[in-house]
């Protein structure tokens, strides 16, 4: 049974909370004592479970949490988390009241949302904290560096608003060539200098994502925002490994069925795999609706009884099949590992998908129960 009393599927993601705490402490070794730590727990904690991850990072010494959208922030507040939470992304102005009511910090890059927060906060006799977003070269959210001073002055003049922070985001920090990232730093410092010339000091300046936290100490500023590295995964193959982090997630399921098949048997939709000889096929109760991508069909292995077995045929919405002919004794109820910490990793799965490890873990579906292990 799950904690909510519902029957638990024989599919689960094991999340090692101890590993997440360890990773926070490892990251903090790279930081000056005065640098704040903002744990990025958006996308349900990169698939690991936002509430559990948030609590673990705060226990390990994180100062701030960051999410992408308002609903993610509200989930943390509902779970009793009272620390600072920054929404990194867009919040419609008609939701300003919820931001203020729940003491959430909002990113601003347009006067519309800033004015909505101001009106709500002033009417309630409260202060709405905001962080100004500067686009230094990502081409996404944010104001241009040349507009930063004028915009910031306009926001500062609004009643009920406190500009607590200002930040930008790197586009290529996970590349071994840091030329463009350093150009972005120059643009950010230009914006900061223009703001300072107007007599406005913003206390929290931040820019470093996971890669910059690892490799660009000059970008640490007042706060860092590690994301993927919290979960024990590296931002790219080009990033060095100055610390020892541990992957926190393993995706597993139970074998649902094993059958003997004859040569020439078609497997799954479209009969994309025809058995070349007699053998055994195991059916697993996990599919693309769980985040186990259909693009992995015929491309990856799973582990059963410590041995690799190839996935065969098309991955279905709720099931997939593996050829276990070469593994003796496989039976219903055996545990199958789809990815784990050391062998058959999320990075290996990502490479076979032609994507990044971020996508592999963050798309593990909500209907997959998370089982948390904390050895402390």
Q: Is 140 a known ligand-binding residue?
A: yes
Residue 5 has pLDDT above 80, yes or no: no
Q: Which of the four pLDDT bands, split at 50, 70 and 90, describes residue 3?
A: very low
d(CA 184, CA 133): 13
d(CA 304, CA 281): 12
Percent of the chain with pLDDT over 90: 96
**pLDDT value of residue 8:** 81
Residue 376 has pLDDT above 80, yes or no: no
Among 256, 273, 255, smallest CA distance to 264 is for 273
**Which conformational region is residue 103 in: left (phi greater than 0), alpha (psi within -120 to 50 degrees), or beta?**
left
Question: Which tokens is 132 given?
Answer: 């100004």
Residue at token pair 């996935």: 311
Three-state DSSP at 211 gives: helix
Residue range 141-163, pLDDT digits in tens:
999 999 999 999 999 999 999 99
**11: Cα separation from own chain's centroid:** 21
Question: Which domains, ranges and CATH numbers included, belong to the chain?
Answer: 31-231 (3.20.20.10), 249-373 (2.40.37.10)
Q: What are the CA-CA distances from residue 23 to residues 33, 167, 224, 230 (Å)?
A: 17, 24, 14, 6
Residue range 8-29, pLDDT digits in tens:
889 999 999 999 999 999 999 9
d(CA 141, CA 149): 17
d(CA 70, CA 72): 5
Predicted TM-score of the model (pTM):
0.95
Q: Which of the four pLDDT bands, split at 50, 70 and 90, describes residue 323?
A: very high
**pLDDT value of residue 6:** 58
Percent of the chain with pLDDT over 70: 98
Residue range 118-141, pLDDT digits in tens:
999 999 999 999 999 999 999 999
On average, the pLDDT of the chain sits at: 97
Question: Which tokens is 120 given?
Answer: 């709500």
Residue 94 has pLDDT above 90, yes or no: yes
Question: Which tokens is 27 given?
Answer: 């990251």
Q: How many Å is the Cα radius of gyration of the chain?
A: 24
According to DSSP, residue 8 is labeled P
Active site residues: 42, 269
Is residue 127 a contact partner of residue 149, using CB atoms and an 8 Å limit? Answer: no
Q: Which of the four pLDDT bands, split at 50, 70 and 90, describes residue 343?
A: confident
Question: Which tokens is 133 given?
Answer: 């977003």
Other beta carbons less than 10 A from residue 199's beta carbon: 8
d(CA 311, CA 292): 12
Q: What is the CA angle 48-53-59, rounded to 5? A: 160
Residue range 32-73, pLDDT digits in tens:
999 999 999 999 999 999 999 999 999 999 999 999 999 999
Element holding 282 (H helix, E strand): strand 279-284
> SS in 3 state form for 27-73?
HHCCCCCCCEEEEECHHHHHCCCHHHHHHHHHHCCCCEEEECCHHHH
Q: Which of the four pLDDT bands, split at 50, 70 and 90, describes residue 1?
A: very low
Q: Which of the four pLDDT bands, split at 50, 70 and 90, describes residue 341?
A: confident
Q: Is 317 a known ligand-binding residue?
A: yes
Question: Which tokens is 31 given?
Answer: 């930081």
Average pLDDT of the residues in 320-348? 96
**HSE of 75 in the Cβ direction (CA atoms, 13 Å)?**
21
Residue range 295-314, pLDDT digits in tens:
999 999 999 999 999 999 99
Residue range 241-292, pLDDT digits in tens:
999 999 999 999 999 999 999 999 999 999 999 999 999 999 999 999 999 9
């Amino acid at each position: 049974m799950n904690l909510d009393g519902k029957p638990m599927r024989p599919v689960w993601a094991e999340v090692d909370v101890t590993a997440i705490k360890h990773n926070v402490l490892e990251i903090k070794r790279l930081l000056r004592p005065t640098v704040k730590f903002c744990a990025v727990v958006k996308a349900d904690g990169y698939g690991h479970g936002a509430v559990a991850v948030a609590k673990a990072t705060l226990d390990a010494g994180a100062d701030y949490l960051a999410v992408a959208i308002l609903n993610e922030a509200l989930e943390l507040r509902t779970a009793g988390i009272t620390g600072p939470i920054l929404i990194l992304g867009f919040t419609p102005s008609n939701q300003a009241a919820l931001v203020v009511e729940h003491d959430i910090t909002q990113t601003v890059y347009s006067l519309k949302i800033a004015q909505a927060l101001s009106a709500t906060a002033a009417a309630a006799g409260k202060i709405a904290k905001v962080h100004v977003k500067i686009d230094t070269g990502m081409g996404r959210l944010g104001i241009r560096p040349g507009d930063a001073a004028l915009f910031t002055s306009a926001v500062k003049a609004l009643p009920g608003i406190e500009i607590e922070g200002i930040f930008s985001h790197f586009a290529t920090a996970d590349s071994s060539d840091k030329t463009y990232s350093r150009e972005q730093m120059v643009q950010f410092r230009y914006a900061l200098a223009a703001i300072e010339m107007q007599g406005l000091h913003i206390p929290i300046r931040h820019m470093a994502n996971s890669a910059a936290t690892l490799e660009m100490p000059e970008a640490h500023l007042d706060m860092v925002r590690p994301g993927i590295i919290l979960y024990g995964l590296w931002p790219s193959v080009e990033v060095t490994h100055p610390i020892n982090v541990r992957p926190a997630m393993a995706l597993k399921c139970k074998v649902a069925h094993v059958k003997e098949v004859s040569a020439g048997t078609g497997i799954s939709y479209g009969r994309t795999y025809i058995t070349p000889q007699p053998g055994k096929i195991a059916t697993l109760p996990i599919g693309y609706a769980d985040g186990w991508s259909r693009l992995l069909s015929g491309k990856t292995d799973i582990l059963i009884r410590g041995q690799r077995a190839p996935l065969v045929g098309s991955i279905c919405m709720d099931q997939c099949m593996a050829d276990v002919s070469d593994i003796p004794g496989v039976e219903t109820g055996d545990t199958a590992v789809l990815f784990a910490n050391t062998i058959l990793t999320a990075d290996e799965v990502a490479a076979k998908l032609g994507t990044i490890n971020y996508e592999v873990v963050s798309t593990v579906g909500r209907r997959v129960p998370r089982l948390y292990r904390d050895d402390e």
